[in-house]
Structure 1
Amino acid sequence: MLDLPLGIWNWWLAGLLGLLVGSFLNVVIHRLPLMLEQRWARECAELAGQEAPPAATLSLAQPRSRCPGCGALIRWQQNIPLLSYVLLRGRCASCRTSISWRYPLVEALTGILFAAVVAVHGNGMAGLAGCGLAAALLALACIDWDTTLLPDDITLPLVWAGLIAAALGWTATRLDAALWGAVAGYLSLWLVYWAFKLATGKEGMGYGDFKLFAALGAWFGWPALIPMILLASLSGAAVGLALKLGPGLREGGYVPFGPFLTLSGLWALLFGTDHFLQWIGL
């Protein structure tokens, strides 16, 4: 396993890198669902034999970020992770429109996660791979919470990344355990989905949840699936109950399951799954 010199790659430098990656994740969280909607609109028009909408110019790189209030370009010095938000006091430099607290929170969480992953897994490829996994899970959690979508653009590459990382020895998971973890992760939630639908006539979750759980199985192996689904279910039930008792439950009473699956993945990444089973007495 490749280890980089600590003077070049260590936990605090990983934290700084995480701040920068977190700034990019904010772009992914905001733009990727919009890009998918544009893609689906073109595909639907083509299938219906209608004139397709013009090709979208929106991408993760273009156009440059602007204030949603006044449309002013956000300059580089106004886009320094955390620091710009503090200096601008959470407002646009041009029109003083409030900037959502989500942006600095995602940046801070990514920095903390990167530092923690490297502190736990070391400064080699295991730590680097873990940082990539943490970034993907955080982006998926935010997108699913906002839109109830888990984009294939992230979940499917995450499955392959887990298998490749296991094959290269970048994780503690053997390749056979990673392969069967991906299979079992997908099939287990697929069976739950159909059992619930046949029993109630309703859909209890989306196909994106199957793919995300398959990705977690690929990264952590099939033995980790039971503690991860228990953690996701318990945390989801607790948050759902809290939202139901308060004013925060969205229309239809639906709470997406993806954020809690990502929480279980981050827990497994930083603390392992055996500790959770011991904590609940299993």
Structure 2
Amino acid sequence: MSELPAFLAEHPTLWVAIASLFGLLVGSFLNVVINRLPVMMEREWKRECRALLAEEDNEQQAAKDEPFNLIHPRSRCPSCGAPISAWQNIPVISWLWLRGRCGKCRTPISWQYPSVELAGAVLAGLAAWQFGPTAWGLAVIVFSWTLLATAVIDLKTQLLPDVFTLPLLWLGLLLPIVLSEHHVTLQDAVLGAAFGYLALWSVYWLFRLLTGKEGMGFGDFKLLAALGAWLGWQMLPLVILFSALAGSVIGIAMILALRHDRRIPIPYGPYLAIAGLIALYFGEPIMTVYLGGMA
């Protein structure tokens, strides 16, 4: 097995191409997760509420519900219900071939599908190019894909599922133990997780005490804690700064260009994800330049 990473290291272009191609396929699966996981969560909440309220026997209601998970039912057009065949599921190519429309009813297919697929490929290719065929490179690919799915779900539903944020947090804490090539120490990862959570937790309660409103959700705390675990506590100021800048720029653009109602809350998760990726790839050079300018 050690010969394969060595071979790929000698042929970096091949490794980047393989990672990018696999990223396309994973991006297609991420679209399924993005569309179905919030529905699965909502159904689970309803089952729990029915059980608590004892409105009807939970087993009887469960029997009535159509199975709905990441595998069932088969993918189909949300407009006409036509099943999506295998050739219509080829990442990006099928969307282009169908000209962005359902093959049966010609209803437009969301740009989300090719965008997430391409993003999955770009993120995987970037990690493969930057870190090579290493364990840390593979970890960064998983990290990037998780941030991608988390950001899109939050953008669509204003939910940051624990099924993403908590495993990402724990994996970030475990990597310094199992990966010798990881540049973040266990102490820095633990402090990053703690400070990341407490930073937004403090802002949340301060804002709530001053205004009586909730400015963000607890999922944002967990996501920043996960970023702190992966990047170390030293990168948290950059992540917070870049997320605030991204939120300001994109938020103002949405208000001006798309006439977005400023009273409608804008999810913070996508900006944290963008800032986390920027800090991952450019954080150390930025900190070096900043600290050099301070000297």
TM-score by structure 1 length? 0.93
- Change beyond 3 A, Cα 1:101–1:121: same
- Change beyond 3 A, Cα 1:279–1:92: farther
Comparing both structures, which one devotes a greater share of its residues to helix?
2
Name the counterpart of 1:140.
Answer: 150
Pairwise CA RMSD: 2.1
Structure 1 residues without counterparts, runs of 5 or longer: none
Q: In 1, distance between residues paired with 2:277 and 2:66?
A: 34
Deviation track 1:129-180 (CA, whole Å, cap 9, x = no partner) reads 0000000000011011111110001100110111122211253211111111
Q: In 1, distance between residues paired with 2:72 and 2:204?
A: 38
Instruction: List structure 1 segments (4+ residues) > 3 angstroms apart after TM superposition.
Output: 276-282
Structure 2 residues without counterparts, runs of 5 or longer: none
Shift of 1:278: 4.3
Q: In 1, distance between residues paired with 2:118 and 2:72?
A: 24
Name the counterpart of 2:84.
Answer: 74
SS at match of 2:79: coil
Q: In 2, distance between residues paired with 1:48 and 1:202?
A: 28
What amino acid is the match of 1:28?
Answer: V
- Change beyond 3 A, Cα 1:56–1:167: farther
Name the counterpart of 2:95.
Answer: 85
- Change beyond 3 A, Cα 1:259–1:279: farther
Higher alpha-carbon Rg: 2
- Contact 2:191/2:232, CA 8 A, preserved across alignment: yes
What amino acid is the match of 1:165?
Answer: L
Shift of 1:272: 2.7
Alignment coverage as a number of residue pairs: 281
- Change beyond 3 A, Cα 1:153–1:250: farther
What amino acid is the match of 1:173?
Answer: V
* 1:33 equivalenced with 2:38 (yes/no): yes
Q: In 2, distance between residues paired with 1:211 and 1:56?
A: 32
Name the counterpart of 2:24.
Answer: 19
- Contact 1:116/1:270, CA 8 A, preserved across alignment: no
Moved more, 56-65 or 105-114: 56-65
- Percent sequence identity is 47
2:233 to 193, 211, 222: 222
SS at match of 1:256: coil
For residues 1-282 of structure 1, what are the structure 2 equivalents within 5 Å?
A: 4=5, 5-6=7-8, 10-51=15-56, 52=58, 53-54=61-62, 57-169=67-179, 171-250=182-261, 252-275=263-286, 278=289
What amino acid is the match of 1:235?
Answer: A
TM-score by structure 2 length? 0.89
Shift of 1:63: 1.1
SS at match of 1:19: helix
